[in-house]
Amino acid sequence: MNLSDLWLYLTPPIAGGIIGYFTNDIAIKMLFRPYRAYYAFGRQIPFTPGLIPANQERLANKISSTIMGSLLTPQELQNLARRLLETERMQAAILWLLQLALDQVRSDTEQKTAKIMAGVMRDLLGQSFPRILKVLARREDFLEAQLNQIFDQVLLDFQLSEAQASQLSDWLLQAVLPPEVLRQALVDFLTDRNIQVIDEGFREKASGTYWVVANLLGLRNTLTRLRTFCLDEKEEANARLAELIKSLGVRSRLKEWLQNVSLQNLPVSTVRQLRKTLRDSVRGYIQSRGTDLMAGLTQSLDWENIAKLILSRLRSSAVVSSSLQLVSVELALILERYLERDLENIVAKTIPILNIDQVIIDRVKATSAEDLELAIQGIVKSELQAIVNLGGVLGVVVGFIQTILLLFR
């Protein structure tokens, strides 16, 4: 076999391999290139741009439909949400937020938090709370247990000590019932009408020696002279009354009486009635004047200063810092119960809001053809190279078949 015959038999496999290899390579590159359309004589050159750049919008829609229809289904999104919203993760996130809020309060140098808190407390206690209190006061059992407890444990067992009774008796004799007040009360009582009634009553009802005194002497002149003495001799009358109070031991008697004053000495029915009266009085007062009381209290308080004191206490309170963990756990459990019940509805409402399919379409359309080629080749580079190599192998195989046919001929 000479050299020309050898080349005749070797040319088909070599040519087939070269053609198959480079044809597949060109075909794969034409999927992406050229990246834009080219024109000649005002007409677009065929196969420009490449297959994928020319159909990038349709490709984006197809990718979005595939992902949303097969991968990111509502069920898969629910499972993803459950994994993201596990109790431990939610508890850690809530704890982080609480600590961040506490740090913000501690670092608040402009007292913005105090001003906000002062406004909230002023509105709550000045406007909202009085309305709620007025509505609640209409109920028959409003503060019934609390007022009954105060009455039974405080008022019912209340009794003045010896020192308190002594001070109160001194105050009564000096401020409420001094000799001047007693003298004026005696003058006001001994009117002509009252003197006549007393004298006639004594004459009619007296008997024995008292009847003789009443009918011979009578009380009219004596009472009239007493009134005249109180009117004309004020200083002397006051002195005589003071001596009378001292000689009769009014102070000690009044002190003893005050010490013995106690609700426990009253009948049970009276005590029950007093307790009911106290409860009704409190309810009635809150209904009629509770709003005005709370409004006046609100206006008289420096809410901003109170808020500063509360926040200052919170900043340095170890209880607040230690309770953040417990609060975060409780809030996480509450959210978990809520999500177990309404997670499906939440995901169903979230999907249209997120508009994931449109996001995928926009991202694919916004990606340049060059970046898209690099991304696809980065994923299936070895597979694409295998196709090119396979084309070369198939070309060689076809060339060998042609060589075999030539040999048979």
- The predicted-structure confidence for 153-199, as pLDDT tens digits, reads as follows 777 777 778 888 888 888 888 888 888 888 898 888 888 888 888 87
pLDDT of res. 53? 77
Q: Which residue type sits at 154?
A: V
Judged by phi (left if over 0) then psi (alpha if -120 to 50, else beta), residue 208 lies in left
Structure tokens at 191: 């009117």
Beta bridge partners of 40: 43
Single pTM value for the model: 0.41
Task: Give the containing element (helix H, strand E) for 15.
Answer: helix 3-30
For residue 369, the one-letter residue type is A
Measure the CA–CA gap between 343 and 337, rounded to whole angstroms. 10
For 385, the 3-state DSSP assignment is helix
| Whether residue 49 has a cis bond before it, omega within 30° of 0 | yes
Assign 3-state DSSP to the chain and report helix, strand, coil percentages, each to 5: 85, 0, 15
Residues 367 and 236 in one domain: no
**Distance from C-alpha of 14 to C-alpha of 392, rounded to nearest angstrom:** 9
Do residues 364 and 56 touch, judged by C-beta distance below 8 A? yes
> 255: how many CB neighbours lie within 10 A of its CB?
22
Assess whether pLDDT exceeds 70 at residue 281: yes
Let me know if residue 167 belongs to a domain.
Answer: yes
The residue among 269, 300, 331 that closes a domain is: 300
Q: Check residue 24 and give its pLDDT.
A: 78
How does pLDDT run across 120-144, given as a tens digit for each residue? Answer: 777 777 777 777 777 777 777 777 7
Total number of domains in the chain: 2
Contact 369, 56 (CB under 8 A): yes
The Cα 220–Cα 192 span in angstroms is 9
Query: How far, in Å, CA of 377 to CA of 384, rounded?
Result: 8
- Alpha-carbon dihedral sign for residues 358, 363, 366, 370: negative
Give the Cβ contact number of residue 324 at 10 Å.
Answer: 17
Q: What is the pLDDT of residue 3?
A: 65
In this prediction, residues 22-27 reach a mean pLDDT of: 80
User: CB of 246 within 8 A of CB of 173?
Assistant: no
Of 248, 274, 300, which marks where a domain is finished? 300
The Cα 230–Cα 233 span in angstroms is: 6
What is the CB-side half-sphere exposure of residue 88 using CA atoms within 13 A? 1
Residue type, 360: I
Spatial distance between the Cα atoms of 397 and 17, rounded to a whole number of angstroms: 8
Phi, psi of 178 (to 5 degrees): -75, 170
DSSP for 339-351, written as a single string: HHHHHHHHHHHHH
- What is the chain's mean pLDDT, rounded? 78
Q: Is residue 116 part of a domain?
A: no
Peptide bond into 130 cis (omega under 30): no
Are 50 and 34 in contact, with CB atoms under 8 Å apart? Answer: yes
**213 with 274, same domain?**
yes
| Interior/surface letters 21-57, b for 16+ CB within 10 angstroms, e for the rest | beebbeebeeebbeeeeeeeeeeeeeebbbebbeebe
283 lies in the same domain as 351: no
Helix (H) or strand (E) holding 408: helix 369-408
Exposure string over 83-107, b if 16+ CB within 10 A, otherwise e: eebeeeebbeebbeebeeeeeebee
Taking only the tens place, the pLDDT of each residue in 143-152 is: 778 888 887 7
Q: Which domain holds residue 388?
A: 3-85+339-408
Average pLDDT on 225-240 reads 87
Domain assignment present for 13: yes
Residue 309 lies in a domain: no
Give domain status of residue 217, yes or no. yes
- One domain for residues 57 and 159: no
Do residues 269 and 383 share a domain?
no
For residues 245-263, give the mean pLDDT.
83
Instruction: Tell whether 208 is covered by a domain.
Output: yes
Same domain, 288 and 355: no
